[in-house]
Amino acid sequence: MMNLFPWRRLTIQAHDTLSSKIPSLSFINFSPSLFHSQPEQEDIFDPPFSSALKTHKPQKSITEKHENAASFEDSEKTHNFTINSDLPFDFRYSYSETNPAVEPIGFREPPRFSPFGPGRLDRKWTGTSAPRLQPVDLEKVAEERRRILGETLSEEETVELVEKYRHNDCSRQMNLGRGGVIHNMLEDIHGHWKRAEAVRIKCLGVPTLDMYNVCSHLEEKSGGKVIYRHINILLLYRGRNYDPKSRPTVPVMLWKPLAPIYPKLVKNVADGLTFEETKAMRNKGLNAPPLTKLSRNGVYVNVVAKVRAAFETEEVVRLDCTHVGTSDCKRIGVKLRDLVPCVPILFKDEQIILWRGTKDQEHHSSGKAS
């Protein structure tokens, strides 16, 4: 075979001579120093390769610890965050959209957690309100309000203020939404009154069903006076003798409390009807043409008058509230129940079905209104 492949014989001989010249590699020690260079003495503090130096802090003595604790307690006493407010009403999240006479049947969060923060208010939160601890002298409150308002504005002064603040480009504007007159809104009103005589308030959503209720709560809680109202636009005047430095302290809510659980709004069987009659009324209302269509965060100023006029000829009325939301539908139903008055018998697929009630209920409600 070697004769047939002479190149194979030359390769084997060259390999033998090379292995005889090179010593065996088994005794060579492959230390890591052959592949990694040792750092020089001047590079020992190189951050990527040097270990972090641990600094040992001197331990404080027991006397120093007691002194620090005493100073911390003194600072807590000096920086007391409890707010003592003298406002003559109970604090609520919403003043215009809640009825204090209706008690909730449950809570979605523990009532012990106050939205004003722990220890920031001298009143106790009950889950729906923070009632005033001391009785209120209504005569003294009314006298102080008259003093701040001062003399009644003349026609020229009223026209000048209205022309200055009623336009859409007014910088002193606030939006009143579905929550109505909320507590933190009072602080914003006083913030605008610090630099302006009046503030423009634009009302949208469910509160616009009863604008008189909104105006009365704004005047009562802020101490100002509504000098202009056009549909859903209000101008709230601060008064002649208003002093920003002596204004009342309004504690701010840190978060929106969860709405409590109230009794069921719609009964399975309406008062004055049987189960079959209630079912027939609901089907009749669903098949009836809608009286009006309400939009989300719209202006509902004329809805009460339309429903009252419709009940003169119709027994059941349907309101189309598509895209309004289930929560706002129920709020609208509660408002119309008290304002028209009427009986909500169904909330389904964002449709509100209202029944005008029996004749006895109509006479009873008209006697209340008168």
Q: What pTM, to 2 d.p., does this model score? A: 0.74
CA 281 vs CA 10, 98, 290, 351: distances in Å: 113, 29, 15, 14
How far is Cα 364 from Cα 360, in angstroms, rounded to an integer? 6
Q: What is the pLDDT along the chain (370 residues), one digit of tens a residue?
A: 445 455 455 455 555 554 555 454 444 444 444 444 454 555 455 555 555 555 555 665 666 655 565 554 544 444 455 677 788 999 999 999 999 999 999 999 999 999 999 888 889 999 999 999 888 898 999 999 999 999 999 999 999 999 999 988 888 999 999 999 999 999 999 999 999 999 999 999 999 999 999 999 999 999 999 999 999 999 999 999 999 999 988 999 999 999 999 999 999 999 889 999 999 999 999 999 999 999 999 999 999 999 999 999 999 999 999 999 999 999 999 999 999 999 999 999 999 999 998 865 555 555 555 4
Distance separating alpha carbons of residues 319 and 310, to the nearest angstrom: 11
Which residue is associated with the tokens 């959503």? 205
**DSSP states along 221-262:** HH--EEEEEETTEEEEE--TT--GGGPPP-PPPSSPPPPPB-
- Contacts of residue 14, defined as CB under 8 A and 6 or more positions apart, other chains included, come to none
Count other C-beta atoms under 10 Å from residue 127's C-beta: 17
Contact present, 233 and 166 (Cβ < 8 Å): yes
DSSP 33: G
Token pair in block for residue 252? 């701010």
Q: How many angstroms separate the CA atoms of 174 and 170, rounded?
A: 10
